[in-house]
């Protein structure tokens, strides 16, 4: 395997300066909170930019580390896991993408104060921010682990430096910087992975040898002490369907209209079809090359060496200089995930918690200021969590799965389906979230369920509580005593099914206490359902009237003499600069076998950059002409 050379360090520094420059460039367009959090609904209008940004927002160093280690260990099972992403997003975006754009919000949970109520808005905000901090810590630790292992710098220093860079450019440029860098990062990531995939096949003896050595598919695996089987695949597909509705909300409502919102989801789904090939093949090849990682020097000194198999393939197959670009691409993918959640969570803190609860008279500039302060605080907390995770024995993949199972499902389901089901009481989301969090906590920490059953139970019960809330409302109004008996019976049957008969005394007491809390809390929420007034129902009615109203682009997006910001030239020029730099690397002393690789990647980036610059400019001019014609008429 190769080691990093001086040129790789120069490439990393160049890339860090580049993304900070993009943040500085777009900071001049951040006139208020709407521009900072939604790009003024003018995120470079082509829907494919939003689709790329959404695609990239689901990638990070976790994909190169934890997910690759999972494929290394589980083989074709892990590749099928990757395939579920595309299927789930294709189903999911069709449900609420257009509704999110018509909601006309600038924060993913802004609508909760009208669709549900202020208490729900607070609850979602707290859970979302806490879950985001846990998630970002894992992702930041993942990228830092790879850079630390290749560069030789202690992981603690890498975590601090990387977290600071991501925080700074998100702080400067808001969603404009996030989205534009997502596109640049996508191009670099695509170029690198398109090289690594065929080179990894070549390293094991060619396509025939690769296919011959693929291990048979097994549907049952133990990885890091946690069980994975077909139930996990089904559960994660359900999660991704919900995530395509809720987690992707910001990309849907930041484009110009509902038609583009649907195109964003479709393009993201199609792009996910590349994942099983680009990210599944290299870890499979790594298993063929190194069936026992403990005897390979690069892996032998690391906790969970499976997390570094993709890096090992890179060091074996691509030349110096491009190794630096790989690290930049992986760092870029990590930034795409972290910067997105930074922007979303800072909007939650400033819009939903600060302006919604603390200072209801806050103006746009105050909200923007609080949002930027929140970005700094979230950045510091992410760094702190990453430093803590660096000591964990669970491994990157398992840590991420646990956080998703515990915090994301209970929030995502009521938030997504609140746009779909009109008759839900305004307290229904708060009840579903609270009891969903209770069920996920009991399943993980008391019953020690594997990930499949844990995600099943959390998703199903959260959904059931949400959709039966109108019925519980009617039962409470009709006969409170009968409802108490029904809920007591439901709780006993439900927790009897959960009980596995092998709990310690402490866990047994905790289990029964949780069952009692479940029944009592659900009865209390039934009472809250019954307090809904005609005014509350009228608010919800108006909300759904807004969802039924198509977006008027001319007046809602480009009104008040607002002009769109040209972005394609920036992306095209940056891409061509990177391509030219890779051609320059050919001049450095290296073997003749490496020259075609540099030509391939450099040429790819130059061509893509030129096409984006040329045709992107054409499409913008055409759009402006149509807009002027419509305004004149």
Domain boundaries, the chain: 6-27+44-415, 552-633
- Partner residues linked to 226 by β-bridges: 223
Distance CA 498, CA 117 (A): 32
CB 395 within 8 A of CB 69: yes
Provide the 3-class DSSP secondary structure of residue 222.
strand
Q: Residue range 243-247: average pLDDT?
A: 77
pLDDT digits (tens, 9 = 90+) for 148-199: 888 778 888 888 988 887 777 666 545 455 556 666 767 777 788 888 999 9
CB 521 within 8 A of CB 434: yes
| pTM summary value | 0.79
Distance CA 553, CA 549 (A): 12
Of residues 419 and 184, the one with the higher pLDDT is 419
pLDDT at residue number 28: 55
Q: Residue range 465-485: average pLDDT?
A: 94
pLDDT category at 560 given cuts 50, 70, 90 is very low
Q: Residue range 415-421: average pLDDT?
A: 89
- CATH fourth-level superfamily of 6-27+44-415: Sodium/glucose cotransporter (1.20.1730.10)
CB 70 within 8 A of CB 217: no
Distance CA 629, CA 623 (A): 10
Nearest CA-CA partner of 497 in 511, 509, 479, 510: 511
pLDDT at residue number 93: 87
pLDDT digits (tens, 9 = 90+) for 535-554: 988 989 988 988 888 887 76
Nearest CA-CA partner of 522 in 406, 444, 456, 438: 438
Provide the 3-class DSSP secondary structure of residue 419.
coil
Characterize the bridge pairing of strands 220-223 and 226-229.
Answer: antiparallel
- Tell whether the model's pLDDT for residue 33 goes beyond 50: no
- Tell whether the model's pLDDT for residue 108 goes beyond 80: no
Of the listed ranges 101-115, 293-307, 331-345, 403-417, the one predicted with least confidence:
331-345
Output DSSP code: residue 296. Answer: S
Of residues 182 and 433, the one with the higher pLDDT is 433
Distance CA 171, CA 342 (A): 9
pLDDT at residue number 623: 60
Average pLDDT, the chain: 82
Q: Strands, E, within 181-329: which ranges?
A: 220-223, 226-229
Of residues 56 and 103, the one with the higher pLDDT is 103
- Tell whether the model's pLDDT for residue 456 goes beyond 80: yes
């Amino acid at each position: 395997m190769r080691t990093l050379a001086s040129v790789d360090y120069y490439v990393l520094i160049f890339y860090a300066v580049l993304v900070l420059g993009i943040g500085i460039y777009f900071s001049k367009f951040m006139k208020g909170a709407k521009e900072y959090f939604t790009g003024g609904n003018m995120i470079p209008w082509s829907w494919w930019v939003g689709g790329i940004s959404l695609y990239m927002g689901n990638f990070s160093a976790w994909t190169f580390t934890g997910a690759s280690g999972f494929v290394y260990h589980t083989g074709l099972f892990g590749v099928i896991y990757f395939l579920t992403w595309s299927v789930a997003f294709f189903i999911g975006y069709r449900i609420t993408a257009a509704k999110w754009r018509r909601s006309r919000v600038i924060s993913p949970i802004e609508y909760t104060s009208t669709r549900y109520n202020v208490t729900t808005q607070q609850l979602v905000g707290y859970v979302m921010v806490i879950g985001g901090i846990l998630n970002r810590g894992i992702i930041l630790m993942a990228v830092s682990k790879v850079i630390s292992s290749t560069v030789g710098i202690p992981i603690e220093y890498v975590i601090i430096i990387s977290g600071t860079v991501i925080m700074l450019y998100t702080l400067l440029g808001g969603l404009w910087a996030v989205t534009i860098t997502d596109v640049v990062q996508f191009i670099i990531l695509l170029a690198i992975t398109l090289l690594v995939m065929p080179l990894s096949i070549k390293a094991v003896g060619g396509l025939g040898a690769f296919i011959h050595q693929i291990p048979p598919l097994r549907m049952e695996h133990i990885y890091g002490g946690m069980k994975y089987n077909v139930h996990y695949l089904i559960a994660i597909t359900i999660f991704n369907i919900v995530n395509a509705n809720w987690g992707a909300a910001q990309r849907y409502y930041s484009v110009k209209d509902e038609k583009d919102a649907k195109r964003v989801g479709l393009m993201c789904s199609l792009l996910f079809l590349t994942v099983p090939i680009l990210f599944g093949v290299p870890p499979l090849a790594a298993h063929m090359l190194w069936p026992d990682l403990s005897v390979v020097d690069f892996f032998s000194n690391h906790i969970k060496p499976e997390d570094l198999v993709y890096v090992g393939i890179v060091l074996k197959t691509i030349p110096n200089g491009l190794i630096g670009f790989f690290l930049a691409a992986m760092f870029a993918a990590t930034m795409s995930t972290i910067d997105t959640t930074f922007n979303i969570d800072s909007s939650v803190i400033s819009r939903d918690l600060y302006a919604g609860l603390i200072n209801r008279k806050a103006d746009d500039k105050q909200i923007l200021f609080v949002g930027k302060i929140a970005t700094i605080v979230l950045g510091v907390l992410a760094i702190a969590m990453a430093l803590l995770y660096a000591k964990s024995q669970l491994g990157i993949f398992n840590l991420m799965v646990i956080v998703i199972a515990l915090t994301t499902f209970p929030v995502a389901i009521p938030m997504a389906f609140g746009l779909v089901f009109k008759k839900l009481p305004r307290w229904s989301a708060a009840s579903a979230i609270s009891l969903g969090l209770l069920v996920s906590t009991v399943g993980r920490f008391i019953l020690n369920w594997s990930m499949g059953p844990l995600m099943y139970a959390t998703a199903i019960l959260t959904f059931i509580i949400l959709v039966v809330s109108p019925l519980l409302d009617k039962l409470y109004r009709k006969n409170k005593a009968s409802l108490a008996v029904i809920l007591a019976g439901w709780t006993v049957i439900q927790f009897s099914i959960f009980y596995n008969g092998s709990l310690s005394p402490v866990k047994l007491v905790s289990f029964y206490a949780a069952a009692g809390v479940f029944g009592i809390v659900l009865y209390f929420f039934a009472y809250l359902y019954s307090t809904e007034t005609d005014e509350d129902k009228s608010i919800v009615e108006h909300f759904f009237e807004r969802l039924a109203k198509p977006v008027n682009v001319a007046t809602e997006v480009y009104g008040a003499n607002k002009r769109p910001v040209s972005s394609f030239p920036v992306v095209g020029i940056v891409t061509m600069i990177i391509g030219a730099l890779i051609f320059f690397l050919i001049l450095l002393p290296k073997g003749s076998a490496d020259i075609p690789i540099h030509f391939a990647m450099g040429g790819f980036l130059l061509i893509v950059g030129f096409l984006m610059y040329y045709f992107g400019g054409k499409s913008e001019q055409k759009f402006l002409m149509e807009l002027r014609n419509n305004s004149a008429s």
